[in-house]
Structure 1
């Protein structure tokens, strides 16, 4: 499973091009349906809780991506939300979005509740609580060593362990995310396709699958609103 020559990557992108376009159109249609159902709210992740956080990276990796392999500390803004916006006590697909400040640029990562196994890491799951179930990026990023999936494992105390896995391979830790307190700035629109982490570009088929729904969800939004509180603050804590 290697991307060194780019040959395999190009072949996979070509093979996935049509399914990705069809899937992207279907997702965009579903998002349009949600917008019609609740025109006064965002169709996905309508409410969220925002926090300041710190990502500490341990280094020692072998992915060929500096952000994954090197030591470092990054300031982040974290949004925790329900994807569909179902009311409590119903479970929902939980989302964690990160806005990283990497030097003079901002980059986004999106995680959703999934399984943690070799196949279930690619399957969305609903969760009752935000700090009881693992999260992954669901779809892979391109690296010199092959497709990599990123994951977050909560410990229930406001700390999330960052791990990465090549495809269906073994998870390996590379850092941790600690929530430091409330974020009081404006609400943010996250887009990991337009603002990827340096060295972690999306595959062309992943961009084709995701971009239509992102554009549909963001159409007509100014992005200037204040954060709308969700339900992720429990017992005075961040999760």
Structure 2
């Protein structure tokens, strides 16, 4: 898989300033700057293929099965089951190539609301990429939606962990245009929880760890890139740190 370069070239001084500030804040926090409280799991992603017109992204359009590392998190984080902007991070591992890191936040499913991070209590619900991707000339939003036939993930990280010990919770992957309805393309299955050490070592790069046909876009793309760079640097992590090699569900 080829290395995808970001499509933006912000002013060097601004980018450096954001990265340095993120590094400093991460060191003060002594951990992740973004979504510090979370639980990670082994899992599996099954892609069914895109119904209707193809997206132009082979990973979404063609059926496949991928070993996946999954992280559920709270953004602030608020204690227990208090409302928060919830996060879902997926790392789809490919044989011999770069992974696909998909990071989505709790949001609404409607066209306007899929662009806004929204606090909520339950880990079962809609997660959207908030900002959009470009695949050629197409603008795409990706999401993880609730599976009505799945076990509930509950209102806290502890409840989500408990759900994976007694069942195999699932979420549905979907893709949409700016105003279109969600088209279901696959399923994410959560398996066994990883250790706290494995969760701490895991780091994502939602800008560069992408399929070759996909690139991040939108006004906040460069800010996200520099913030994640700084957070990883503060922890001594790389863009591909962590990720379980354990057997999936």
User: Above 0.5 in TM-score?
Assistant: yes
TM-score range, shorter chain: 0.7 to 0.9
Q: TM-score, normalised by structure 1?
A: 0.75
Residue 90 of structure 1, aligned match among 41, 61, 82: 82
Partner in structure 2 of residue 167 of structure 1? 178
Residue 71 of structure 2, aligned match among 63, 79, 82: 79
2:135 matched to 1:124?
no
The one-character-per-residue Cα deviations of 1:99-118 (angstroms, maximum 9, x if unpaired) are: 11122122211011011111
The one-character-per-residue Cα deviations of 1:199-222 (angstroms, maximum 9, x if unpaired) are: 212237553231121123223212
Partner in structure 1 of residue 44 of structure 2? 54
Partner in structure 2 of residue 4 of structure 1? none
The Cα of 1:161 is off from its aligned counterpart by: 0.6
Pairs within 5 Å for 1:31-46 = 35=26, 39-46=29-36
Kept in 1, the 8 Å contact 2:30–2:235? The answer is: no
- Residues in 1 aligned to 2:146 and 2:21: alpha-carbon distance in whole angstroms: 30
Cα 1:137/1:75, change in 2 over 3 Å: same
Runs of 4+ in structure 1 deviating by more than 6 angstroms, as ranges, are 24-30, 224-227
- Residues in 2 aligned to 1:196 and 1:126: alpha-carbon distance in whole angstroms: 27
- Residues in 2 aligned to 1:201 and 1:151: alpha-carbon distance in whole angstroms: 16
Kept in 2, the 8 Å contact 1:65–1:144? The answer is: no
The one-character-per-residue Cα deviations of 1:110-147 (angstroms, maximum 9, x if unpaired) are: 0110111111000001111211x200111111113511
65-74 vs 27-36, which deviates more?
27-36
Residues paired across the two proteins, number: 209
Pairs within 5 Å for 1:65-76 = 65-76=57-68
RMSD, aligned α-carbons:
3.2
Partner in structure 2 of residue 103 of structure 1? 95
65-74 vs 52-61, which deviates more?
52-61
- Residues in 2 aligned to 1:67 and 1:189: alpha-carbon distance in whole angstroms: 22
The Cα of 1:32 is off from its aligned counterpart by: 6.9
Partner in structure 2 of residue 220 of structure 1? 234
Helix, strand or coil at the partner of 2:143: strand
Q: Structure 1: where are the runs of 5+ without partners?
A: 1-9, 228-239
Cα 1:42/1:128, change in 2 over 3 Å: same
Cα 1:76/1:117, change in 2 over 3 Å: same
Helix, strand or coil at the partner of 2:119: coil
168-177 vs 211-220, which deviates more?
211-220
- Residues in 2 aligned to 1:206 and 1:127: alpha-carbon distance in whole angstroms: 23
Kept in 1, the 8 Å contact 2:85–2:105? The answer is: yes
Q: TM-score, normalised by structure 2?
A: 0.72
Kept in 1, the 8 Å contact 2:50–2:183? The answer is: no
- Residues in 2 aligned to 1:127 and 1:54: alpha-carbon distance in whole angstroms: 25
Q: Structure 2: where are the runs of 5+ without partners?
A: 1-6, 152-168, 244-249
Partner in structure 2 of residue 6 of structure 1? none
